[in-house]
Each structure stands twice: as C-alpha cells, then as structure tokens.
Amino acid sequence: MLNGKKIVLGVSGGIAAYKAAALASKLVQAKAEVRVVMTESAQKFVAPTTFQALTRHPVYTDTFDEKDATQIQHIDVADWADFVLLAPATANLIGKLANGLADDMLSTTLLATEAPVYIAPAMNVHMYSHPSVMRNLQRLDQWGFHFIEPGEGYLACGYVGKGRLEEPETIVEVLENQQHPKVLKGKNVLITAGPTREKIDPVRYFTNPSTGKMGFALARQAAFLGAEVTLITGPVNLTAPAGVKRIDVITAEDMYNQVLEHFSTNDIVIKAAAVADYRPKQTFAQKMKKQPGEYTVEMERTKDILAELGKRKEHQYLIGFAAETNDVERYGREKLAKKNLDAIVINNVSEADSGFGHDTNSSLFITKQGRETTFPVISKDEMARQILMKSLEELGW
C-alpha cells in the first residue's frame, strides 16, 4: 500500500535515530520513495551517508545547502511529499513544531508542507510526561497531526516506561493502514485465532499446531479496511496488529465464553481459531507421576462454538474455517450447511506451503449461495484481504 508513495522521513537527535535507519530500509522495501531530512543533532547518532545508501537519495541536513539553484530546497521537499514521518520526534522538535519555530532544514520543511504529518515521539519517560511536552502534543493533535504512540519498555537512559520509539515494522504497518480504502469503517469485526490448550495436570496439556497467523492476518487486514476489530486468541507468539483489541484465552471454554460475550455487537464474525474438540474428562491439581504400563486419558466433548453462533446469529455474517486432510471439499460443504454459516474457508492442511505455521495458504472459499473462489498459494495477509473483500461483495457493502 506504500508502493510509489513519496515519504519525507524527518530524523531528529535522539538515540532512537538508529531505528530510523531500519525504518528507512523497510519503507524502501515497501516500494516507497524516501527522502531523509536530518537535524544537526541527529547526525551525532547516525551519519547521513547511512540514509543515503538506504534510500538512494541525497540526505538534507542544511537549509542553505541548495542542491539545485532553480529551486528553494525546503519548499521543494515540502511540496514533493505525500506525507511526512517524524521518527524519532524529540521533545525539542515537537516543541518547535507546536510553536511555529523554523531554524533548520527539518523545521522549515515542516512549516512549509501541506502533506499529512505523522509524529513518532521518542524520549525519556519523564520528558514525555512533562506538562510542556503534553501541551505541545495536545496542540498538534488539535491541529490534525497524526501520532504513532511510543512503546513502553527499557529506555537508553536506564529508565523503564513510556517513551521508546515504536518498532519500525509497526510504524510501517500504521502508515499502510492509512492508505487502505476504509470500506469497513463503522463496522465491527470479531475474529478468533490460534489454538486452545486443554490441561491434564499443571505440566501437560492437549493442543494443536496452530500459530494464529491466519487469524492475525485477518485482524490486520480488517483494521486496515477501517473496522473496529476484536481479536480473541489462544496462546500464540504474535503481536496484535495496530488498533486491534486483543483478548487472550487458554481453553475452549474460555474462548466459548468470550466469543458469546462479544458476538451480538459485531457485524462480521470469522472463526479462524483451531479450537479443541475434546478435553480431558478428569484433570489433576498436582503433576501425575510416571507409572508402569499404559495410561488412558478419557476425553469429553467441548462446546461447539461455531454451531452455537450459527444458531444465535441475526444480522451477523458468519465465516468458518475447515482444516481438513482428506475429502476436503465434502467435509467443508457439510460444515457450511450443518453449522448455518454464511461462508466457509476450506484448507487442505496436508498440502505443502499451506495450513498451520506457514506464512502462505491455499483454500477454497464457498458462500451459502454456492459461489466459489479458489485461492492458490498466496500470503496469508493477501488471502485475508481477499476473504474480506469477497465477504463485502456478498453483503453488498
């Protein structure tokens, strides 16, 4: 979504400037055209040649170093930009912008541009919470500037708290999000993801190989399209997409309760989680010690979340997933009808490059009306986007 976008990356003087180099690289990888403007202080942390090599463009550092006599440098850069990204944005740069000060190349460019400006602050936790900085941030917010909030964690100064520059991947994700047409704006989307765990004792449980990648891709793409997204996920090692409300669960019973609690307020519900069909009938508070001979675990059925949603749905568009290894299409069609779904995504998880753990997937998408779409092996993010767009076509939105 950043392909061909003209981005001015403003780098100011903080230790987080080293992350700006990685950010510039990721923006270029996303096919954006990037021009970097650095303050004098930023050059104390990272050399301009680093950004020149990464972006393949000259780096702007001095208002009076006119590279083209036919143009006024800071005006030309300001007019060129589709948007401006300040990362890291120090307390000093934020103060200049909020008070209309222009005493270097970056600050003059900022006052001259009419492009949207995204600010990613980075500073000491006490600086970030200082009343003057808060006032400046509030003023910029009122003027329509966009913010990419700093993360919490260990800071270079030794403190732990809010003030760490957001990770480059997340910043790129936020920018991409802003480029998508907001066709789901005003809609609520509920997505389940990942596996569940059914405990036997404190150190053993039954689970499955689901990593949650498909569900998280769906959540990310739905957020890109403007939806308010709630993601209910089992235990996974993934970071929630920007702007997505995440609810963590462990067992099938946990997921059942959370899904039913949120079901009525959502417009589209996609159940991509691999929920356990069975759980141990008896569990133990203490670790079971090894015994001679065999051991049999008696299992009982868990609640069928998708079937329950099919009974309860009113206005919701309900999509299920079927992970199969044989008679794939037949089982998927049976599930579509039996559970009163509006559509189903049928995966053959035994195929190479598809199913659990992969970054790619292939599937058959079938609607209640019998319309079919075959997705070849594509990235899970691309499949997620196409599933959502197909659903919008069915809904007539």
Mean pLDDT for the stretch of residues 310-319: 96
For residue 88, tell me if it sits in a domain: yes
pLDDT higher for 20 or 148?
Answer: 20
pLDDT higher for 132 or 243?
Answer: 132
Judge if 12 and 110 occupy the same domain: yes
Q: Residues with Cβ < 8 Å from 209, sequence gap 6 or more?
A: 195, 356, 357
Q: pLDDT at position 168, please?
A: 93
Mean pLDDT of the chain: 92
Domain finish residue from 154, 179, 204: 179
- Which CATH number characterizes residue 34's domain? 3.40.50.1950
196-249 tens-digit pLDDT: 999 999 999 999 999 999 999 999 899 989 999 999 999 999 988 878 999 999
Judge if 231 and 136 occupy the same domain: no
Judge if 174 and 195 occupy the same domain: no
157 belongs to the catalytic site: yes
Q: pLDDT at position 328, please?
A: 84
**Residue 326: φ, ψ to 5°:** -155, 155
Q: pLDDT at position 156, please?
A: 62
6-15 tens-digit pLDDT: 999 999 999 9
Mean pLDDT for the stretch of residues 44-63: 96
276-303 tens-digit pLDDT: 999 999 999 999 998 898 989 999 999 9
For residue 218, tell me if it sits in a domain: yes
For residue 20, tell me if it sits in a domain: yes
For residue 1, tell me if it sits in a domain: no
Q: Which of 150-159, 167-176, 253-262 has the lowest mean pLDDT?
A: 150-159
Residue 321 assigned to a binding site? yes
Q: pLDDT at position 155, please?
A: 60
Can you state the angle between helices 131-142 and 91-98, rounded to 10 degrees? 50
pTM exceeds cut of 0.85: no
73-126 tens-digit pLDDT: 899 999 999 999 999 999 999 999 999 999 999 999 999 999 999 999 999 888
Q: Is the pLDDT of residue 135 over 70?
A: yes
Judge if 23 and 111 occupy the same domain: yes
Judge if 341 and 198 occupy the same domain: yes
Judge if 56 and 160 occupy the same domain: yes
> How many Cβ atoms from other residues are within 10 Å of residue 256's Cβ?
19
Q: Which of 53-62, 76-85, 249-258, 343-352 has the lowest mean pLDDT?
A: 343-352
Q: pLDDT at position 243, please?
A: 83
Q: pLDDT at position 218, please?
A: 96
CA distances, 170 to each of 70, 248, 296 (Å)? 38, 20, 47
Domain finish residue from 144, 179, 214: 179
Q: Is the pLDDT of residue 69 over 80?
A: no
Query: Cβ(305)–Cβ(256) under 8 Å?
Result: yes
Q: How many structural domains are present in the chain?
A: 2
Alpha helices in 30-153 (DSSP H): 48-55, 73-80, 91-98, 105-112, 125-128, 131-142
* Peptide bond connecting 209 to the previous residue in cis, omega within 30 degrees of 0: no
Residue 224 assigned to a binding site? no
pLDDT higher for 179 or 156?
Answer: 179
What confidence tier does 262 reach under pLDDT thresholds 50, 70, 90? very high
Domain extent at residue 107? 6-179
SS3 134: helix
Q: Is the pLDDT of residue 52 over 70?
A: yes
DSSP string, 25-61: HHHHHTT-EEEEEE-TTGGGTS-HHHHHHHHSSPPB-
Judge if 216 and 83 occupy the same domain: no
Q: pLDDT at position 159, please?
A: 59
Residue 145 assigned to a binding site? no
Q: Is the pLDDT of residue 49 over 80?
A: yes
Judge if 211 and 144 occupy the same domain: no
Residue 267 assigned to a binding site? no
Domain finish residue from 149, 179, 209: 179
For residue 12, tell me if it sits in a domain: yes
Q: Which of 85-94, 303-312, 347-356 has the lowest mean pLDDT?
A: 347-356
Max CA distance (Å), the chain: 88
Q: Is the pLDDT of residue 161 over 90?
A: no
pLDDT higher for 230 or 182?
Answer: 230
Q: What percent of the chain has pLDDT over 70?
A: 97
Q: pLDDT at position 387, please?
A: 95
How many whole angstroms separate alpha carbon 44 and alpha carbon 397? 52
Q: pLDDT at position 160, please?
A: 63
Choose the catalytic residue: 28, 72, 101, 157: 157
Q: pLDDT at position 157, please?
A: 61
Judge if 382 and 242 occupy the same domain: yes
Residue 335 assigned to a binding site? yes
Q: Is the pLDDT of residue 62 over 80?
A: yes
Q: pLDDT at position 227, please?
A: 94
Mean pLDDT for the stretch of residues 379-384: 88
How many whole angstroms separate alpha carbon 125 and alpha carbon 145? 22
Q: Is the pLDDT of residue 309 over 70?
A: yes
